[in-house]
Amino acid sequence: MSEPVPVAVPRKGRPLEAVLERIAAVGPDDRLDGLADRVSNTLRYEKAVTKGRVDAEDGPYERLIEYSDPDNPRQPEFTLLRDDRDGKPRRIVFDAATVDLGEVTLKLVGREEPFRALRTHEFAVGFDSADLVLEEVVGIRPGGLGQIADINERIDPVDTDVRVVNGLGDTVYHTLMGRPEGIEPGTDFDRDFVAKYEGSLCISPRYERLVTAVLGTDALEGVEFVYPNANEEEEAAIARTGLGVYLTVTGSTAREHGLDVGEHLFPSETVLMRNAAEHDPAVGRALDAIAVEKSSSEIRV
């Protein structure tokens, strides 16, 4: 039997759940559904413990032993990391799992930054947030970027060998929103509005490069990025500023701040990636097995 193909995956959160759902969807039987449920339920519980919403009876090491089954390599493995919150609490996160997809076996390996692990050729295949690709390697151009399918055309091949294969559909959008006071009735908060706008645009500091890539430098002429104050909710800061970009699910809290929800600018989606410089046939079989569902449009790799 050939060695499993290593695949870098996130250690926790929505992106990991999206990966496990994809793996379960392409698996030959329902055992992978059980794996996905077990990992997701364990990590949701651990997140609640870390955030103080649940009091665990046992300590993290005891829980780690409870979750582990060293005699069964097909069961998921977990590990402890220091969380970045006050006090640096220990948090249990996903470490690894071996999954048999019939034509190929995968070794899912948890990484804090899967995209960067592909960039350094530690892995040939992996999953990570499309946001990180935009933040690190997508070129800044006069025109904006609107969909996952356009990412590869913006990657300089000299900069990295990593390419996006497709998205997993776990879409949350970077959305334009604004306060309607003083704006002509019927005006839409969209890319055209930004292109004519001069003034402050409130964003999270970490998304400055992403928002620049998504909107394009032409649209941002005359626009100044501003940021929320310490401990200020982002939607409250956008309401104070008048216009901003926020990663939103429903927009309901935006409306509570008196904001109109405008255009969905770019999908914050988990993406399947490959390092195009790696040509192992097993990698090709792995991609054939897991790249069965497409995002909103076809991607040129």
User: Which residues fall within 8 angstroms of residue 271, CB to CB, at 6 or more apart?
Assistant: 127, 128, 129, 130, 133, 148, 151, 164, 165, 166, 167, 168, 295
Q: Please state, in angstroms and rounded to a whole number, the distance separating the CA atoms of residues 243 and 257.
A: 12
Residue 292's pLDDT band (cuts 50, 70, 90): low
Tell me: pLDDT of 1 over 60: no
Residue 87's pLDDT band (cuts 50, 70, 90): low
Instruction: Identify the pLDDT of residue 298.
Output: 42
**pLDDT mean across residues, the chain:** 89
Tell me which of 299 and 274 has the higher pLDDT. Answer: 274
Instruction: Identify the pLDDT of residue 301.
Output: 37
Q: In what order do the strands lie in the sheet with 270-275?
A: 77-82, 90-100, 105-111, 5-10, 125-129, 270-275, 162-167
| Total-model pTM | 0.89
Give the residue carrying structure tokens 């969909």. Answer: 147
Average pLDDT over residues 273-281: 92
Average pLDDT over residues 145-166: 93
Instruction: Identify the pLDDT of residue 105.
Output: 94
What fold is seen in the domain 172-267?
Answer: D-Maltodextrin-Binding Protein; domain 2 (3.40.190)
Average pLDDT over residues 272-294: 87
CB atoms within 10 A of CB 95: 18
Tell me: pLDDT of 34 over 60: yes
Helix (H) or strand (E) run with residue 37 in it: helix 31-50
Average pLDDT over residues 240-263: 87
Instruction: Identify the pLDDT of residue 82.
Output: 80
Tell me: pLDDT of 296 over 70: no
CA 242 and chain centroid, separation: 27
Q: 94-138 pLDDT, tens per residue?
A: 999 999 998 899 999 999 999 999 999 999 999 999 999 999 999
Q: Closest Cα to residue 199, out of 225, 231, 164, 236? A: 225
Instruction: Identify the pLDDT of residue 50.
Output: 84
Q: Any idea where the domains of the chain sit in the sequence?
A: 5-129+151-168+270-290, 172-267
Q: Please state, in angstroms and rounded to a whole number, the distance separating the CA atoms of residues 168 and 187.
A: 33
For residue 289, CA distances in Å to 25, 105, 167, 195, 293 come to 10, 10, 15, 42, 10
Residue 86's pLDDT band (cuts 50, 70, 90): low
Instruction: Identify the pLDDT of residue 293.
Output: 52
Tell me: pLDDT of 210 over 80: yes
Instruction: Identify the pLDDT of residue 248.
Output: 78
Instruction: Identify the pLDDT of residue 187.
Output: 86
Task: For the chain, give the percent of residues with pLDDT over 70.
Answer: 93
Average pLDDT over residues 221-239: 94
